[in-house]
Amino acid sequence: MISRKRICSILMVAGILLFLSTGWGAAQEKFPNRPIQLIIPWAPGGGGTLNAQTLQPAFEKALGGGAMIVNKTGGGGTIAWNFVANAPPDGYTVGIVNPSLVVTQYTTKTGVNFKKFEPIITTVIVPAGVAVKADSPWKTFKEFIDYSKANPGKVNMANSGHAAMYHMGNVGIEMATGVKFTHIPYKGSGPCVAALLGGHVDGTLAEISTLLPYVEGGKFRILAVSSSKRNFAIPNVPTFKEFGFDLDVGTWYGYVVPKGTPKERIKVLHDAFKAAMNSEAFKAFYAKQGGVIEYMGPEGLMAYLEAQDKQWKKIIDFGGFKPE
């Protein structure tokens, strides 16, 4: 029979082989050799998840690997952003960001400084619009602002979250035009729309993708839009610029990785995203939403983040918001 010693040595060899095969010896490997995680800071069904989901098929194809969408909600997005910032910088953890990243730096204790990330790319900007009910007395933005100036505090504006992006956007309008609104916080854009439909508020600032169906349905009127050029979906609506101020408060979606990720890996991700942006599905999706496909590469996104940072800080300081 096989001796004890024999068995022992066989077991030892098997053990060592098993040990090695668990990947402890992995050094240079092809990137990616396992699925990338796309961390979305908001609940499924929302704009961020939809952005990632629309990109996903073409992205995976261009990348030659899988991409897993992971929703990590909470803290206005900060839980997910903290997670990404602290993740190992190996290119397998990618986060999606939008203006809230910049805003929450100043308004929450848990906000993450955008400099903790390496930007990869931006994909789209969906401008924001000021909407009122179609049967309201204000037909133009000027009428709305004049009325608000004459009745400080009387006009109720719904926002999708206290001290969040669109609340700050409304404060930005106050800063630029000298009006005073009453800000009513809701949880997300959906409830804002419902509140406006029911006449519980006078107006709201939201991304036009949310507002468009109601404009087409004859329920809402968009008075002004936040992009620098008029939007293709609502060509008759003037921009903030035409009223003399510039508030870039639309929603943009960009992708980042933690600082320290190797440049070659960033390039791989960047090229895959860029290819995905060119897919028919992506373009068609945002064509319906009024989203402007806006490409910015790593340097472009970094510069944009700095510009956004300046803008939002000004608004936040004006409103006197501090991390509580």
Contact set with other proteins (CB under 8 A): 22, 43-46, 49-50, 53-54, 56-57, 71, 73-76, 78-79, 82, 107-110, 153, 156, 161-163, 182-188, 190-191, 193-195, 197-201, 212-214, 216-219, 284-285, 288-289, 323-324
CA dihedral 241, 226, 108, 156 (to 10 degrees): 100
- Alpha helices (H) in 151-291, listed in sequence order: 165-177, 189-197, 208-216, 263-277, 280-289
Q: Which residue's CB is nearer to other proteins, number 193 or number 301? A: 193
Q: Which residue's CB is nearer to other proteins, number 191 or number 262? A: 191
CB of 75 to other proteins, least distance (A): 4
CB of 151 to other proteins, least distance (A): 13
Terminal Cα distance for the chain, rounded = 75
CB of 264 to other proteins, least distance (A): 26
- Distance, CA of 11 to CA of 95 (rounded, Å): 44
Which has the closest alpha carbon to 81: 108, 121, 45, 58? 108
Q: Which residue's CB is nearer to other proteins, number 38 or number 247? A: 38
Q: Which residue's CB is nearer to other proteins, number 81 or number 255? A: 81
Kindly state the tokens that stand for 125: 């900007």
CB of 213 to other proteins, least distance (A): 3
Q: Which residue's CB is nearer to other proteins, number 64 or number 323? A: 323
CB of 152 to other proteins, least distance (A): 12
Between the alpha carbon of residue 171 and those of residues 86, 138, 151, 179, 231, the distances in Å are 32, 20, 16, 9, 23
Inter-residue contact 83 to 116 (CB < 8 Å): no
